[in-house]
């Protein structure tokens, strides 16, 4: 920590170059946050309470909802406070803690989505062998490995960032302590940039390719369905899943592969909003609330 003796805090520039209150924007993000938390919490409760949803698929979905709640809680409450109060400072320690939890949960989310795509691939392409290929032991092992890899990646990233020197500016051009924004104000940014590119390729592009391959194979099976109605429903489900995956992975890949230039920080913030706020809110709707099994479970619980 000797390199940071001259800096005690950072200033987070949330959609503005000035420290100013933006109550309308604050309310907008508060609504996004509350809707996301409510939808994900509802899915967790419904899948726990209904015995028909005690399958590996809904086991993954419960964990995705839990991850999404944490994911939005890491960034949005602080952003809401900044926009409402106009106080945009964050201490050095708080910033590094946010980096750890953000990378931890984002990595877990990345890998978990690819595990869910693989689960759907087995369920649709090998339905008769699903309970053998994706049993509870394998599901728990996949999930445990996902959380361990995410935690390890978050710890490595936080340790890497905490050893950097910041000498040019305290201004973070994003609405949270983003490692790309930190690289712009670091004295030696090249090492961090190489680290970011490696992270993006391994934990961004890798899981996305697994998910994309799974859904391409699923679509190949769907094309063989004889019933037009069955084909339409299957395509509807696949396209909605692929849309959310493309928004999530695409915004991450675009943000962290673009060079850290001053003129592109506006696009960085747009991409960040897409994968930190909108996709966690859309996930329970796309993956579950459009699902007939979940709707039936909700009706049984209400009755």
Long-range contacts of the stretch 48-55 (C-beta < 8 A, 24+): 49/297, 49/301, 50/297, 50/300, 50/301, 52/293, 52/296, 52/297, 52/300, 53/293, 53/294, 53/297
CB proximity list for 211: less than 8 A, separation 6 or greater: 113, 114, 117, 245, 249
Residue 18's pLDDT band (boundaries 50, 70, 90)?
A: low
Contact 184, 260 (CB under 8 A): yes
Mean pLDDT along residues 238-265: 81
Condensed to tens digits (0 to 9), the pLDDT of residues 222-241 reads 888 777 776 777 777 777 78
Residue 5's pLDDT band (boundaries 50, 70, 90)?
A: very low
3 state SS of 15: coil
Condensed to tens digits (0 to 9), the pLDDT of residues 172-220 reads 888 889 888 888 888 876 778 888 888 888 888 899 999 999 988 988 8
Condensed to tens digits (0 to 9), the pLDDT of residues 59-93 reads 998 999 999 999 999 999 999 988 888 888 888 89
Tell me, what's the pLDDT at 2? 46
- The more confidently predicted of residues 103 and 189 is 103
Torsion of CA 208, 211, 215, 218, to 10 degrees: 160
Mean pLDDT along residues 136-149: 94
As a whole number, the mean pLDDT across the chain is: 85
Whole-prediction pTM: 0.89
Tell me, what's the pLDDT at 6? 62
- Residue in the structure block whose two tokens are 């390890």: 152
CA distances from 200 to 64, 107, 187, 208 (A): 20, 10, 22, 11
| C-alpha to C-alpha distance for 136 and 275, rounded to whole angstroms | 29
Contact 63, 69 (CB under 8 A): no
- Listed in sequence order, the DSSP H helices in 126-202 are 130-133, 136-162, 179-185, 189-200
């Amino acid at each position: 920590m000797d390199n940071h003796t001259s800096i005690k805090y950072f200033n987070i520039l949330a959609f503005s170059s000035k420290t100013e209150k933006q109550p309308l924007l604050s309310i907008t993000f508060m609504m996004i946050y509350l809707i996301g938390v409510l939808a994900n919490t509802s899915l967790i409760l419904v899948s726990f309470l209904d015995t028909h949803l005690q399958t590996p698929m809904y086991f993954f979905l419960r964990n995705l909802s839990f991850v999404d709640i944490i994911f939005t809680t890491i960034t949005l409450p602080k952003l809401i406070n900044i926009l409402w109060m106009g106080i945009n400072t964050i201490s050095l320690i708080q910033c590094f803690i946010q980096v750890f939890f953000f990378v931890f949960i984002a990595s877990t989310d990345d890998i978990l989505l690819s595990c869910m795509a693989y689960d759907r691939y087995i369920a649709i392409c090998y339905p008769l062998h699903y309970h053998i290929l994706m049993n509870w032991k394998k599901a728990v092992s996949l999930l445990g490995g996902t959380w361990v890899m995410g935690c390890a990646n978050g710890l490595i990233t936080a340790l890497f960032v905490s050893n950097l020197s910041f000498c040019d500016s305290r201004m973070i051009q994003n609405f949270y302590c983003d490692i790309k924004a930190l690289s712009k104000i670091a004295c030696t940014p090249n090492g961090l940039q190489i680290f970011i590119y490696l992270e993006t390729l391994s934990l961004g592009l890798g899981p996305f390719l697994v998910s994309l391959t799974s859904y391409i194979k699923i679509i190949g099976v769907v094309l063989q369905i004889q019933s037009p109605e069955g084909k339409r429903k299957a395509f509807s489900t696949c396209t909605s899943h692929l849309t959310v995956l493309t928004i999530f992975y695409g915004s991450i890949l675009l943000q962290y592969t673009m060079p850290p230039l001053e003129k592109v920080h506006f696009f960085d913030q747009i991409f960040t909003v897409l994968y930190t706020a909108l996709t966690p809110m859309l996930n329970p709707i796309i993956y579950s609330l459009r699902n007939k099994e979940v709707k039936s479970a909700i009706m049984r619980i209400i009755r």
